[in-house]
Every structure is written in structure tokens, then in C-alpha cells.
Structure 1
Amino acid sequence: MTITLNVQGMTCNHCKMAVTNVLSELAGVQHVEVHLQEGTVNVEYDEAKVNVEQMKEAIEDQGYDVQ
């Protein structure tokens, strides 16, 4: 399953790495692709192991807003 999340507040490479790392630590997340210009994050994941709410919480814990 792949989802695109709209994430506000990402402005630099540090932001990109923070979001990539926190999502990659979640069990079931297989691939993360951050697009700074668009403010989006594409996440490929196993829905049997992780859900969208868990991903949103992980990103918000880093200080970003998920729309």
C-alpha cells in the first residue's frame, strides 16, 4: 500500500532526514520518499503492521503538521 501525506513545515534537508528516519523506524514501513518543494511524503507500507494514524503521529512528534 502507498499513501501520500501532506506535511507542513518541512523546509530543508534536516527536515527531510527527520521525517524519513522517524517513518523508517516504524515496523511495516518499507519505503519513504520526501518531496520538500511539494510538501509531500510518499510512504510505502504494510497495512497489516502500521496504519496512517501511527505515521501521522510519528511525523507530528517531530514538530511538523500533517494535513
Structure 2
Amino acid sequence: MIVFNVNDMTCGHCVGAVTKAVKSVAPSATVSVDLGTKRVQIDGRDSDAPAFKAAIADAGYTPVEAAPAVDPVAARGGCCGSCH
């Protein structure tokens, strides 16, 4: 999974433009955009971070690579933390 912070996304149009830019690089990629946190997550077989970054930049935005979010349940090693 590739994650970018795109702090200059401000509306639904921005979300669509960024999604379209990512899909132009990898049409089969799964793109998840959270406008509230300004995060774009890309999951796909053809994951090429520099190409995605360039496409988003060409669409007029400023992508900054970020670390994927850690799932708190997975980080603990189980559903309640007791399982190991």
C-alpha cells in the first residue's frame, strides 16, 4: 500500500481529480481518499510510488509520501490483546 498526504485537497472535486490521476497510472488500483485527513491510500498490483506522485502533482496537487496507518488490532497481535 502506498499512502500520500495531499494537504491541498479541499473538496470533492479535488478527490475526483486525485483519484483520476492515480487511475491514469494504474487503472486497476484501489484508491481510497479521506478528505478529512487529506490522505490518499493506493493499493494495487502495479504500485509505483514515483509514478503516482508525479501523476498527482501533474493534476495540480502536492503529494507527500506518508507511512500507512497501523491497524491497532493487528499491532496488538489479536482482538483483545490477550492472544499471542
Q: State whether residues 9 and 38 of structure 2, in contact with CA within 8 Å, keep that contact through their aligned partners in structure 1.
A: yes
Identity of paired residues, percent?
34
Detail structure 1 runs of 4+ shifted over 3 Å in the superposition. none
* Greater C-alpha radius of gyration: 2
Aligned to 1:59: 56
Structure 2 CA distance, aligned partners of 1:60 and 1:66?
7
TM-score, reference length from structure 2: 0.68
Q: Which of the two has greater strand per residue?
A: 1
| 1:3 and 2:2 are equivalent in the alignment | yes
Structure 2 CA distance, aligned partners of 1:3 and 1:63?
19
Matches within 5 A, 1:1-67: 2-27=1-26, 29-46=28-45, 49-67=46-64
Q: Structure 2, unaligned stretches of length 5 or more?
A: 65-84
CA RMSD in angstroms, aligned pairs only: 1.5
Structure 2 CA distance, aligned partners of 1:3 and 1:39?
14
TM-score, reference length from structure 1: 0.84
Structure 2 CA distance, aligned partners of 1:26 and 1:60?
13
Q: Quote how far apart the aligned CAs of 1:29 are.
A: 4.7
Q: How many residues are treated as equivalent by the alignment?
A: 64
